[in-house]
A and B are shown apart, each in its own frame.
Chain A
Amino acid sequence: MGIEFRHVRKTYPDGTTAVEDFSVTIPSRSTTVFVGSSGCGKTTLLRMINRMVDPTEGQILIDDEEISGIEPVALRRRIGYVMQNSGLLPHRTVVDNVATVPVLTGTPKAKARQEALGLLDRVGLDRSLANRYPGQLSGGQQQRVGVARGLAADPNILLMDEPFGAVDPIVRDELQQELLRLQRELGKTTVFVTHDIDEAFLLGQQVVILQRGGVIAQIGSPQEILANPASDFVADFVGAKRGKRRLTAEEQGAGDDVLLVDAAGYPAGVISAPDGRLALSNSGPLSRSVSNKTDQAGDA
């Protein structure tokens, strides 16, 4: 079950190889993040799942069915797709953008619009925005509409290509939290592409760190990767090498909180320490109850 890449290779006619030999299994109902610098082939891999790009060699299976046998247009309509800069249709209102795929698959317009309004609620958008055009929304609002559109046909799979790459850090935080909430509520099989390792560790149950040519540098949970980077490349990429993730407690001030600093001495967060004893996590590292993203670094 889930999505399976089997020895996938992509060579373009001009001879460049985007992906050399990529095999990975993406489990159902969880989030897998492909993370790497530009040119690592992460977007190409993502676009292979809905046949926007066809591999030169190898197979991709969704729930054990080879997708090369599925008609691309039909396949795309059952897979949600969210991209950077939202990719919304500028000539359609918000509600019509969200209703895009249901209308394409023959749902009557009135019904599709009605359901689209429910999706706006779901992604935290006010219904008063329904009749605006995308150009009248903020970047963050556009991305929310993009997510709502991706969910409109109730797909089992959601592909997200750097969806939060172009919004400011505060809005990005909000959107990431929304996505975590949606993921808890809906349990889609989500494949998320990003170049931001913090985002990868925050959102991914499984993180695939890619090197040039779609070579897997390491694959595992954020905990596994942070605790045991497989190579210098990974250690460098996740920031362990630069000491960004190795935190030490500063001397306690007047309150109960102790300041944590990274190896370079920059403040990274605080930890509560009543009576000089550091608080221990009792909810496990995956709960993400602390909004500071460096919370996972407590393991390191």
Chain B
Amino acid sequence: MSWVWSHLDLIWSSTLAHVALCVPAIVLGFAVSVPLGYWASRSAGARGVLLTLGNILYTIPGIALVVLVPVVLGLPILNPVNVTIALLVYAVAIMVRSAADAFASVSADVRGSARAQGFSGPQLFWRVELPLAGPVLLAGVRVVSVSTISLATVAALVGIPSLGGFFTDGFQRSFLTEIITGLVAVLLLAAVFDVAIGLIGRALMPWNRRQRLSSAAAASFTIPVPQTGGR
């Protein structure tokens, strides 16, 4: 433990570096996946192509992608952007499927009724479909967040600072404390992100929270709850 206390500075700076690699990948991954997922939910052809592409991208080994990105984009090998781009590729590969499922989960009844009230196409997307896809999108972002934080440790293999540095350094020196420190830090960071994303979701989707509460309360009193329009 004394090693941990004497290296708090290093742990903190590695954590910040790790966060700096991950956050843009998660945010951009979300931003790219939402329109792609929406497209996939509207057209069976697009769905087939996009999801297959996602699967193929996801099978590329992490280390290969981190090495490949600078070659393809012509960036210097030690640029952290390489890692973020590689993480972005994986994030999109996972998130497109979630986003497609999220938009497919929006009840056709609700969508049809909203159209009948006079929502225009863009209004329907921003005010009805996107918010209603929210819970499934949120679940997707949580998976992406955890997977991105764990994947970002490969940055250490190409000499870019991250929490992965504790693994490579610890292995080279056969120093278990350092490896465990890295492991715990990654787990803690992933947990913090997960809680933060959950809180953002609760703040943005109060209807989802209350509905769940009410059905849970009703279930505990065994009062029959009338079903909503959504099926």
Contacts and interface: CB of A to CB of B under 8 A. Distances in A.
A139 B230 contact: no
Given A91-B208, A92-B207, A139 B226 contact: yes
A242 B222 CA distance: 42
A254 to B, nearest CB: 40
A135 B214 contact: yes
A83 B210 CA distance: 25
A52 interface: yes
Contact of A77 (B110, B118, B205): B118
Interface string B99-121: 00000000001101111111110
The listed residue with most A CB atoms (<10 A of its CB), out of B112, B113, B128, is B113
Interface in A144-163: 149, 159
Given A90-B211, A135-B211, A139-B226, A81 B117 contact: yes
Contacts of B110: 87-90
A128 to B, nearest CB: 15
Interface in A46-82: 47, 50, 52, 73-74, 76-77, 81
A22 interface: no
B215 interface: yes
A86 B116 CA distance: 12
A52 B208 CA distance: 29
B117 A88 contact: no
B115 A86 contact: no
Contacts of B132: 89-91
B227 interface: yes
A89 B131 CA distance: 10
Contact of B117 (A90, A100, A136): A100
In the complex, which range does the number of interface residues on chain B fall in? 20 to 34
Nearest to A50: B116
A105 B228 CA distance: 27
Contact of A135 (B109, B115, B215): B215
Contact of B112 (A52, A90, A91): A52
A101 interface: yes
Interface string B216-231: 0000000000111110
Main secondary structure of the interface of B (DSSP, over half): helix
A101 B118 contact: yes
Contacts of B123: 104
A136 B210 contact: yes
A76 B226 contact: no
A6 B27 CA distance: 54
Contacts of B114: 87, 89
B113 A83 contact: yes
Contact of B205 (A86, A91, A104, A137): A91
Interface of B: 109-110, 112-120, 123, 128, 131-132, 134, 205, 207-208, 210-211, 214-215, 226-230
Interface of A: 47, 50, 52, 73-74, 76-77, 81, 83, 85-93, 100-101, 104-105, 133-139, 142, 149, 159
5 tightest CB-CB pairs across the interface, nearest first?
A87-B113, A77-B118, A76-B118, A85-B229, A81-B116
